[in-house]
Amino acid sequence: MSKINLYPLRFEPIYQYRIWGGRHLADLLSTPLPDDGPIGEAWMLSDRDDHTSLVANGSLKGQTIAQLMEQYPEQLMGKLAGHFNRFPLLLKFLDASELLSVQVHPSDEQKNYIPAGEHGKTEAWVVLKAGKKSRIYAGLKSKTTIQNLRNAIMSGTIADHLSFFTPKIGDVVFLPAGTVHALGGDVVVFEVQQNSDVTFRLYDWNHVDAKTGHPRALQVDKAFACINFLQGVIEPAVPVVEMIGSVKREHLFHCDHFCLSRISGESQFVVGAVDAPHMLVCIAGDGQLEYDDAYYTIGKGDVFLLPAVIGVCVFWPKGKVSLLEISILENN
């Protein structure tokens, strides 16, 4: 392996059963869904001990992202090599056919609530499918207190304290750790998050897991300890638009852990960066990525990791295309 040069890497999706999931990801991803049951998540780039992504293309096919991090730290991570003991982001598609639990994630500073080896969890969503009954709950309404929120959980009226909106395709929602949130009602999103699987449920809409016949466990006390009651209402982000010829680049947000942009157009454009890894997510259309005299086809639903050694390269759309581009920040 030590003699192999890295190249644009695509990974196999890891499908996850969720009681609130559906079958919409079959319309987005080319890899067939499991035969039956609700699929709520497709993990597209995951460096987790329990679910580690496998390379799906090229000479490194079958290798895990963890193996690449160990074998090629400088080629893969560039100036970020040595900053992380595993790949720092987790990329997913979510199919929330039903409502997710009302939940919250801890921040990196709330170490008493983070298991060893884990991190806090700041995340963001890009809406890919939505309807009139879709909902995104993000943040608490004003005058919500610890006591009246606890009372609302007991009485089943927690929705009265949650800020919500009806999402539309293209909306971007940034959810800092400590934000109370949920979504559902036939909504599909792409999610970028810190590499963490720590979730504390406040309320689960009286769901019963068909596999167990029981409700899922709540972690109300831990959730309350992690809620940022000063967070307030979360609304869709307002992109900063940059036009480069006929290509539109929208800077969606920049946080302490990652940056996200959306690139749309029919003419070629550059992606990637010198000495830093970037990720590409194709959310509409298709095209080819040119690197080292080779072309890599990227279609709807594909997620590619561009190792740092690649630097800047050119994407050639085939008609109209829309890509998300994600970068990692050193203080992740």
Q: Specify whether the CB–CB gap between 308 and 78 falls below 8 A.
A: yes
Q: Which pLDDT does position 56 carry in this prediction?
A: 97
CA angle 261, 310, 118 (to 5 degrees): 60
Tell whether the model's pLDDT for residue 2 goes beyond 60. Answer: no
Phi and psi for 91 in degrees, rounded to 5?
-110, 135
Tell whether the model's pLDDT for residue 181 goes beyond 50. Answer: yes
Q: What is the mean pLDDT of the chain?
A: 95
Share of the chain above pLDDT 90, in %: 94
Q: Indicate which residue of 18, 201, 249, 262 is catalytic.
A: 201
Number of residues in the chain: 332
Q: Which pLDDT does position 269 carry in this prediction?
A: 97
Annotated active-site residue 201? The verdict is: yes
177, 178, 182: which is closest to 193 by C-alpha?
177
- CATH 2.60.120.10: which residues of the chain? 9-226, 240-328
Q: Which pLDDT does position 100 carry in this prediction?
A: 96
* Phi-psi group of 120: left, alpha or beta (phi > 0 → left; psi -120 to 50 → alpha; rest → beta): beta
Dihedral through CA 149, CA 130, CA 198, CA 140, nearest 10? -20
For the domain spanning 9-226, the CATH number is: 2.60.120.10
Tell whether the model's pLDDT for residue 294 goes beyond 70. Answer: yes
Average pLDDT, integer, range 238-262: 95
Tell whether the model's pLDDT for residue 156 goes beyond 70. Answer: yes
> Domain 240-328 belongs to what topology?
Jelly Rolls (2.60.120)
Average pLDDT, integer, range 179-186: 98
Dihedral through CA 197, CA 219, CA 156, CA 160, nearest 10? -60
Q: Specify whether the CB–CB gap between 246 and 265 falls below 8 A.
A: yes
Our measurement of the distance from residue 307's CA atom to the centroid of its chain's CA atoms, rounded to an integer in Å, reads 19
Q: Which amino acid is at 25?
A: L
Distance CA 114, CA 40 (A): 24
